[in-house]
Structure 1
């Protein structure tokens, strides 16, 4: 573990006084732009992070009793369950959770990671927005503990907790095919997202095992919201009327279910969605899903984070949480 660079070292590298560095760090507007650039460049080169809670750290032996949790969208049902599981565990240990949304924005991920590190959180759980997490290396080398969830980074820089996305998607589509349906639509998220790629791979795995190929007319990627999925599903179902549909995330499932009901096709087109949705058992037919276990993901992630903060130096490892099929009716419709 290396020592964190100091303000004095930044001043020396930038060729300015320590008071100038202090003014730049604290956002004092009277510093000349040229000096601001020199100080920021020196800080970035050294990996310097301002100590915003030095007095408190001295009182608590270097601990702030806070951890950070960066999720794609804290309003998403999956994220909400993860957050609650992490909060419940942390509360038992008198630790506060600071949570924020990344909105699938890698730049926002880097900025919020830095902001939480600047506030000296004791560790971070991150649902990565991008595929490159090398920005955490400097913080790891300085002693910060990280755990990643939902997506498996390459290379594996920290412990990762992920669901069985590919295997779960394959089982979901195989379940649809057991109803003797052969034209299966796919509605999914952006393929730039690893979970979306894995679930689409599971979809194609199931079709291939049954001697089928994806019909590109029935495949739609890049769906992020329920409203977007609803509009795309209405257009697709009206034009091509597939026998079944697999939806790769919860908001897409909500939009697809709405479209089927609006078109009067909910009793003809079988559907299984990846991840559970609110009120799935209330609508008719009930919505069959391949459910993740976000509470288990949250518990495993925060458990690993606390172990790391306590001094566990074992090699980073990936942990896969199984998914399970919940048949409620929509995925079991008899073929007409």
Structure 2
């Protein structure tokens, strides 16, 4: 604790910066020693910050990927399942906040949060290629009241349901619910997180992939038995690869041929290899929008639906209820001039479309 400076001067001299690589062992040691949850591994999109006063370490923060599911947050934003998967990376989680023992002074916590909030989106854009629009954090009410977040103008949304994320999914038993706080890093984050025009978000970098490496590797196998409707001349991409990219892009929230092609173009080499893309001169070649459109228009829809049903049977979450709904496709008529009617079966819990069928004529 500084003894040669008033508290106000101490606050004005606080600075915050990213933890350098050679400082990470010290960061982890202090977090493990003083934070009640212990150390947190640096996995995926994560930034570590240290607040300093005249080169002395004052506080530590960890900002990581957002929680996959949070009911009060998702209802507050107002997004649907598909939009959430495409935009979840625009939310970051303040997963650790530790004020070191000698620095429990008035207003230090809110000052450190304020400094972090000012620079986070820029740091995230530089490191990961996309901005952050919203911050979230979870506070254990049995230990803390969340006063430092309220003092920093965070909004409390409510309580979680008390489930914990495990390697097998989510725990069955309820644990202590956490208070959920959010802080906007831009104007109208709810509008930006739910808007239809993804281009306005200026998203760059790698796309969200909601499939494991093993699932991506096995996905082309589900399409190997489908007959290729294209002529042999001019084929540049295997049918199973094109269908795998279209299916994977759809599972990750992409809608339309252009979005599928753009999603595939942003994939890394490992993902493209798993999806069966071919290499030319040491680089993977990605199907274009026109290739994806041509394949999906020509392929037998009944056979494709059968392959997708096998995928759902193997990997889709179990659903307690199935919703059956129908709609008339605009500007789509059959060879007899009748409009096309589609019936879909969608799982309530998973929001997965298990199958779609062309229905009989409506009376």
The two structures share one fold, judged by TM-score above 0.5 = no
Structure with more helix by fraction: 1
| Higher RCO structure (Cα 8 Å, ≥6 apart) | 1
* TM value normalised by structure 1: 0.29
* TM value normalised by structure 2: 0.28
